[in-house]
Structure 1
Amino acid sequence: MLLSLLPFKMHTLRVLWFVPSPLAVVADALKLTADVTLHAERNPSSDAQFEALATGRVDAVVTAMDNVMDWNLRPGPHDLRVVAQLERTTPLTLVGQKVRGKLQDLCGATLLVDAPHNGFIVALRAMLAEEGISPDAYALEPVGGVTERYDAIVAGRGDATLLGPPFDAMALQAGLSRIASVQERYPTFPGQGLVVSAGALERLRPTLFAWLRGLESARKRMGSDPDAARQALAFAGFPATAVEAMVRSAPVSLRPDRAGVELLIEQRRLVGLPGADTVYEELVNPSVLPED
């Protein structure tokens, strides 16, 4: 008896990110997402991510989940949602010039940021507010994503900035000082999420499900076989100083963490930024996730 074979269906997903997601790197190396053709590009800023989503140039972005609260207030789709959490947390170190060794030293400082009203800077603004440092006591200078901020701070263009792996370790090696850690101040601070437009969700559902199914397998492998994950990340060109942090970044679940999202809402409320009048259910749509 002859068996008919169903045709193999290949999905295509267009994504922007600041640096490749460790989950995606491991999934690709272990051939866990072979049924998805990923067109991923590095973007220079969160504004570039929003523009690409708003115009439909990309299907999704990997970004700070706080961005959604700001983006949904801008002229555009107004329906952006976090559909998955791709990192347990985003390790963020506040680094500065040698004369800026502690948070109180940031009075009068110029802080290099991606954007002044959204993203990781909201956590830093909350830290400064808790230290009694008002917004008019420092200046925010937008320079772009983590690569751009690293280049600028090492070149001496500003006084301090937030950096994640491997750029934080590289900055310290270049002679900058370690001022503080977002994770030490806020243990539930969540990692980056995958953001899409709710209006495009049904069209993207089969592709997103296929890709996230592979990332879920990679997430489990990073826990059960961390050596394979280390090898995949090292082969992809990440420095040894960053690989361990990336392996540890695997989330407990791809479902966005409620405590983490609610922390972001509270930080935005603390510093008086618009968009804080939302709730978890309005920001998150986990309907395309595979079962844990």
Structure 2
Amino acid sequence: MSRAKQSTSLTLGAFSPSVPLRVCRRLGLLDRHGLTVAEEPVASSPAQFRALLDGRVDAVLTSPDNVLAYRFTPGNPLGETADVRIVSAVDRGLGLGLYAHPALRLPTPSSPVTAGVDVPGSGFAFGLYTLMEHVGLREYQVEAMGSTPRRLEALLAGRCDVTMLNAGNELIAEDRGMVRLAGLAEVCGPYLGTVLAAKGPDLAAARALAEALRETCDRILAGTADTLVLEEAGAALGLTEPLARRYLRRLKDPLDGLIPGGGVDLGALRTVLGLRLRHLPDEGLDGALDPARGLIEV
């Protein structure tokens, strides 16, 4: 008599609900890889990595800049580093761009612009500073507002003038009349938006999840999971059918959509590192992308 395959439980910390993860579950790929995955919403990148370092989550969907910061730079918001590693690449940004409230008077605002960020020294913040400079917004004050859904709420409510949005949040913003000023992939590409990361050395469950997500992304890109994506984009992100269809097209976009095979593009990772060094030039990150430094799990 054969025994049923034992399932490994994994808690995943994420800023926004992950449509690929939900599609992965419905395709039966989590079961195939012996995984039971629960999502844990996080309020900010420091909160996400506090949970990872403390073991309250087993893996995270995050910006690769966060992995750089919490692996190599003691000056990060938590003031400590750990053996955190990129296990797989997921997407190139999913529409990541600079969005403005329509009340903002461009190109010359009458007062300094309020820019909403996760935390000031994070990857999306570095992207925001770069795009603001690109569109000519040089007078601004920065306010920490947490994760992307929280920043969307702040922008819609007028609590900030500009912020960085992606992963379906930008589609809601556009539908509500917010203005897209510039896209990071267009201005700074190639760009790496989201990675699956975990804390070493025991990465067996994270590797299994990475493989399941790679298979899912490949199916989405091949067009064999369209119906599931539309259903889950509506349920998880609250997107109307027209917005869900735009989200599906974004997932398949070669510029800022899903990454086939989950491989880490070193050129895109150099863009992320370059944005950090542009705004925080002396962080001891020389050679951070050297394979011997262990940033990328192989």
State the TM bucket, normalised to the shorter chain. Answer: 0.7 to 0.9
* Structure 2 residue aligned with 1:290: none
1:265 Cα deviation after fit: 1.1
* Structure 2 residue aligned with 1:257: 265
**Cα distance between partner residues in 2 of 1:283 and 1:108:** 41
Paired letter, 2:288: V
1:94 Cα deviation after fit: 1.1
- Give runs of aligned pairs for residues 52-131 of structure 1, distance below 5 A: 52-72=51-71, 73=74, 74=76, 75-100=79-104, 105=109, 108-129=112-133
- Give runs of aligned pairs for residues 197-212 of structure 1, distance below 5 A: 197-198=199-200, 201-202=201-202, 204-205=203-204, 207-212=205-210
> Gapped runs of 5+ residues in structure 1?
288-292
- Give runs of aligned pairs for residues 13-52 of structure 1, distance below 5 A: 13-34=10-31, 35-52=34-51
* Structure 2 residue aligned with 1:187: 189
Task: Judge conservation of contact 2:94–2:166 (CA < 8 Å) in 1.
Answer: yes
Question: Residues 106 and 264 of structure 1: is their aligned pair in 2 closer, same or farther, counting only changes over 3 Å?
Answer: farther
1:24 Cα deviation after fit: 1.7
TM score, norm. by length of structure 2: 0.83
User: RMSD of the alignment, in Å?
Assistant: 2.4
Paired letter, 1:165: A
**Cα distance between partner residues in 2 of 1:36 and 1:103:** 50
**Cα distance between partner residues in 2 of 1:209 and 1:106:** 51
**Cα distance between partner residues in 2 of 1:106 and 1:129:** 17
1:66 match: secondary structure: helix
Question: Residues 64 and 25 of structure 1: is their aligned pair in 2 closer, same or farther, counting only changes over 3 Å?
Answer: same
* Structure 1 residue aligned with 2:149: 147
* Structure 2 residue aligned with 1:168: 170
2:38 match: secondary structure: strand
Paired letter, 1:98: P
Question: Residues 258 and 104 of structure 1: is their aligned pair in 2 closer, same or farther, counting only changes over 3 Å?
Answer: farther
Question: Residues 157 and 131 of structure 1: is their aligned pair in 2 closer, same or farther, counting only changes over 3 Å?
Answer: closer
**Cα distance between partner residues in 1 of 2:258 and 2:116:** 28
Question: Residues 101 and 13 of structure 1: is their aligned pair in 2 closer, same or farther, counting only changes over 3 Å?
Answer: farther
TM score, norm. by length of structure 1: 0.85
Task: Judge conservation of contact 1:103–1:128 (CA < 8 Å) in 2.
Answer: no
**Cα distance between partner residues in 1 of 2:107 and 2:85:** 33
**1:231 and 2:236 correspond:** no
Task: Judge conservation of contact 1:18–1:145 (CA < 8 Å) in 2.
Answer: yes
2:68 match: secondary structure: helix
- Indicate which of 272, 286, 291 corresponds to 2:297: 286
Task: Judge conservation of contact 1:112–1:141 (CA < 8 Å) in 2.
Answer: yes
**Cα distance between partner residues in 1 of 2:280 and 2:134:** 13
Q: How many residues align?
A: 276
